């Protein structure tokens, strides 16, 4: 399999290292060529789109027209412009398109989802996901002010950049129906986006969810908790453990994660599963194009709700967003 990586920031470099570690075949970087057109003229089988968010969709459309399968870093884009056309072109050309929500490949989150969807805590009533990390600490050797995460025109801000949390909550609780939110820029960070956001989501199942993302928290924290009518389950990313609360005994039980697990394991699993999809094995938890578009649409609706001080009824947003949102996996009834 011949690959091309477009964008060699930290995530592009990670994918490149993992591609080689997995022995997936020949891999080149777009910057080795005078233009993207020249790079695509070499007819890569796969293009890894890892440039700034605002460039994802136009880059991906060029790549799919060149006949490539696509793994696009999250989020799919910074607006919905061109998204429908990208998905249609990929479908018409029978090209695989995945959006890199790598938390789906974390065994702790996968275990939480299994518990919730198998009825292990009864009927899900409420979910809460949090992710906070101080932006300058992400890549200490780089000036955070120059990165896409800090710049609105490049698709930055925690709601979009940390949309992993939106995807994780929807992966567990299913299709969202309404969203409201508030965002602020309260810190001294030199950015032109929000630095903290709170979103509230009503799901089609009737469950309520909330999402907290920020660029200001020291030390970092990432966790997801779901309360059901027969218990609670919580995934703590940083401690690499899962906790379950049983109302009958009023006790918490802790499931420790694999002590050998390291962060890059998720990225390796994600890239390996994508390669299997390209080779015809469509099994695995990866987010396809419609699901990636659904999370982008949900994030943008949350930002709009925060700007307008309103609740966005997603069922009134029409097509194609309605179809994308319905593609999100709904939890099984307990």
Note the pLDDT tens digit of each residue in 81-101: 999 999 999 999 999 999 999
Spatial separation of the C-alpha atoms in residues 12 and 3, rounded to whole Å: 12
Q: Which residues of the chain form CATH 3.30.360.10?
A: 107-258+289-326
The per-type count for the chain, helices as H runs and strands as E runs, is 10, 15
What is the DSSP track for 89-119?
HHHHTT--EEEE-GGGG-HHHHHHHHHHHTT
Give Cα separations from 322 to 33, 38, 41, 313 (angstroms). Answer: 40, 37, 36, 11
Q: What is the pLDDT of residue 332?
A: 43
Spatial separation of the C-alpha atoms in residues 116 and 98, rounded to whole Å: 25
Q: Residue 217: how many CB atoms within 10 A of its CB?
A: 18
Which one of 3.20.10.10, 3.40.50.720, 1.10.3720.10, 3.30.160.270 gives the CATH number of domain 3-102? 3.40.50.720
Beta bridge partners of 287: 99
Q: Which residues of the chain form CATH 3.40.50.720?
A: 3-102
CATH architecture of the region 107-258+289-326: 2-Layer Sandwich (3.30)
Q: What is the pLDDT of residue 260?
A: 86
Q: Decide: 90 and 116 in contact? Cβ < 8 Å.
A: no
Spatial separation of the C-alpha atoms in residues 198 and 302, rounded to whole Å: 9
Spatial separation of the C-alpha atoms in residues 5 and 40, rounded to whole Å: 11
Give the pLDDT confidence of 40-64 residue by residue, as tens digits: 999 999 999 999 999 999 999 999 9
Spatial separation of the C-alpha atoms in residues 34 and 133, rounded to whole Å: 37
What is the DSSP track for 262-318?
-THHHHHHHHHHHHHHHTT---S--EEHHHHHHHHHHHHHHHHHHHHTSEEEGGGS-
Q: What is the pLDDT of residue 330?
A: 57
Give the pLDDT confidence of 174-232 residue by residue, as tens digits: 999 999 999 999 999 999 999 999 999 999 999 999 999 999 999 999 999 999 999 99
pTM: 0.95
Give the pLDDT confidence of 265-305 residue by residue, as tens digits: 999 999 999 999 999 887 789 999 999 999 999 999 999 99
């Amino acid at each position: 399999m011949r690959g091309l990586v477009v964008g060699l920031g930290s995530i592009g470099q990670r994918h490149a290292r993992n591609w080689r570690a997995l022995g997936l075949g020949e891999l080149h970087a777009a910057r080795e060529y005078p233009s993207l057109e020249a790079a695509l003229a070499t007819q890569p089988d796969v293009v890894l789109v890892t440039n700034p968010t605002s460039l994802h969709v136009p880059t991906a459309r060029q790549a799919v027209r060149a006949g490539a399968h696509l793994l696009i870093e999250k989020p799919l884009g910074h607006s919905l412009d061109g998204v429908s056309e990208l998905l249609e072109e990929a479908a018409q050309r029978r090209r695989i398109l995945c959006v890199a929500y790598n938390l789906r490949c974390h065994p702790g989150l996968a275990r939480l989802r299994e518990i919730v969807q198998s009825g292990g805590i009864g009927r899900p009533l409420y979910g809460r996901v949090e992710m906070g990390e101080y932006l300058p600490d992400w890549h200490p050797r780089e000036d955070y002010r120059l990165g896409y995460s800090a710049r609105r025109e490049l698709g930055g801000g925690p709601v979009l950049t940390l949309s992993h949390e939106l995807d994780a909550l929807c992966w567990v609780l299913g299709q969202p129906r309404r969203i409201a939110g508030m965002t602020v820029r309260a810190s001294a960070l030199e950015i032109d986006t929000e630095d903290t956001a709170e979103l509230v989501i009503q799901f089609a199942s009737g469950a309520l969810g909330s999402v907290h993302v920020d660029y200001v928290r020291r030390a970092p924290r990432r966790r997801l908790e779901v309360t059901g009518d027969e218990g609670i389950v919580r995934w703590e990313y940083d401690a690499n453990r899962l906790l379950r609360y049983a109302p009958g005994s009023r006790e918490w039980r802790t499931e420790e994660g694999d002590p050998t697990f390291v962060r890059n394991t998720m990225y390796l699993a994600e890239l390996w599963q994508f390669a299997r999809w390209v080779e015809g094995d469509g099994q695995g938890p990866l987010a396809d194009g419609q699901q990636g578009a659904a999370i982008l649409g949900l994030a943008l609706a949350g930002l709009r709700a925060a700007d307008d001080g309103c609740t966005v009824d997603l069922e009134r947003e029409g097509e194609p967003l309605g179809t994308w949102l319905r593609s999100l996996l709904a939890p099984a009834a307990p």
